[in-house]
Homo-oligomer: A and B are copies of this chain.
Amino acid sequence: MPFPLEQFGQRVQLARQQLDISQEVLAERCGFDRTYVSLLENGKRNPPLVSICRLAWALNVTPAQLLDGVDAVEGEE
């Protein structure tokens, strides 16, 4: 179950590195704490949709592009 969070974190990190900006700058653009961005990139946070949309804006991608490669999760446990 944490796996898509790790996939998402890797997507965020890659997009940030491609823009050549720090976690601090990304956090400022989103209105997040730097710590939150670090936890996100490590797959330790489960961000709500509006936060995903803010990250996408700050990273110059669409929300769909930011979820590219993130797997669906079987609902029944």
Q: Interface of A with B (CB < 8 Å)?
A: 1, 4-5, 8, 29-32, 46-50, 52-54, 56-58, 61-65, 67-77
Contact = CB atoms under 8 A, between A and B. Distances in A.
Stoichiometry, as copies per complex, reads 2
A63 B76 CA distance: 17
A16 to B, nearest CB: 14
Nearest to A48: B46
Contact of A46 (B32, B50, B61, B65): B50
Given A1-B50, A48-B48, A52-B49, A71 B63 contact: yes
A63 B70 contact: yes
5 contacts: A31-B76, A46-B48, A46-B50, A49-B52, A57-B74
